[in-house]
Amino acid sequence: MSVPEAHSLPAGATPCRLDEVFLEDAARTYVMAVLNVTPDSFSDGGQYFSPEAALDRAVRVAHEGADILDIGAESSRPGSQRLSVEEECRRLFPLVEQVAENVKIPLSIDTYKAEIATMALNAGASIVNDITALRGDPKMAEVVAESGCVLVLMHMLGTPATMQINPVYESVVDDLCAFFEERISYAESFGINRIMIDPGIGFGKTVEHNVEIIRNLKVFRTFGKPVLIGVSRKSFIGSVLGLPVQERLEGTAAAVTVSILNGANVVRVHDVREMVRVARMTDALAGRGCQREV
């Protein structure tokens, strides 16, 4: 694998310190860049499947202003199937070590498997992004607790293979609140205290469910945890605008803006340069602590 030059932050940028995200009055919105090391993700499947392309992507998004890099090797698109530990490991390692050596922003591992999380944390990751919210592997809570890393608890109805088959809620916002109350309590029972929550846009939700969640995002701030949201290029944008996945930049920008205004602390995105600008401008207009002149 050819290794790019180690990344140094752009002039005027400040490194992301994860503890800052957990301050009650966080200074700004944080941008999490997506890096899918998969051949079949819904948005960029195959584009960064080779180790060389993945490492280049990691260095590039850090230079574009990403605060966090989220690396995943198993697609969670609707209808996708579970990946074996062996195959997930083959895709991720030694890539994670290479990224940790060359990119000086916090690394997140997008996995629900305790064995993969352990390897990634040992390789330099500091966040576990678990789409099953600790339900996918009974050993995951212990791994997170022992490491002291940040944990993302995401809501998903069913599994990726089944989640979009007629998702139904009594009240989507109330149901998600009940879910997070139980999952946060479970995580905290293991001594895990640095927790973010993600309502799981597109993970077992209709267009109407997704829109209602974004409109009511402030409700999730009542848990006292940072709210992470992933709206980037999602199918609900395509449904509203009638556009394919590669033409959803403007729709993503609108969804990111409204999410920030409604309380999102971290936005997970594919188009990093553009969404960093959207986040900075939205923060400035909303009066959130902006460290740059506008």
Say how many C-beta atoms besides its own lie within 10 A of residue 148's C-beta. 12
Distance separating alpha carbons of residues 37 and 46, to the nearest angstrom: 7
Distance separating alpha carbons of residues 58 and 92, to the nearest angstrom: 13
Band (2; pLDDT cuts 50, 70, 90) = very low
Distance separating alpha carbons of residues 185 and 226, to the nearest angstrom: 16
Band (11; pLDDT cuts 50, 70, 90) = very low
Read off the pLDDT of residues 156-190 as tens digits, 9 standing for 90 and up.
998 888 889 999 999 999 999 999 999 999 999 99
Q: Which two tokens stand for residue 186?
A: 């479970």
One of 233, 234, 248, 280 is an active-site residue; which one?
A: 234
List the single range of 46-60, 238-252, 262-276 with lowest mean pLDDT.
Answer: 46-60
Residue 3 · residue 102 · CB < 8 Å: yes
What predicted TM-score, i.e. pTM, was given to this entire model? Answer: 0.90
* Amino acid found at 254: A
Higher-pLDDT residue of 43, 274: 274
- The dihedral built from the CA positions of residue 272, 277, 281 and 287, taken in this order, carries a sign that is positive
Distance separating alpha carbons of residues 166 and 205, to the nearest angstrom: 8
Residue 116 · residue 76 · CB < 8 Å: no
Q: Is 90 a catalytic residue?
A: no
Q: Is 268 a catalytic residue?
A: yes
Per-residue pLDDT, 26:
74
CATH fold for the domain made of 21-228: TIM Barrel (3.20.20)
Residue 167 · residue 204 · CB < 8 Å: yes
Per-residue pLDDT, 12:
47
Q: Which two tokens stand for residue 243?
A: 């556009």
> Domain spans of the chain?
21-228
Share of residues in the chain with pLDDT > 90 (%): 79
One of 91, 113, 183, 268 is an active-site residue; which one?
A: 268
Say how many C-beta atoms besides its own lie within 10 A of residue 15's C-beta. 10
Band (256; pLDDT cuts 50, 70, 90) = very high
Distance separating alpha carbons of residues 107 and 123, to the nearest angstrom: 10
Band (15; pLDDT cuts 50, 70, 90) = low
Read off the pLDDT of residues 78-87 as tens digits, 9 standing for 90 and up.
776 889 999 9
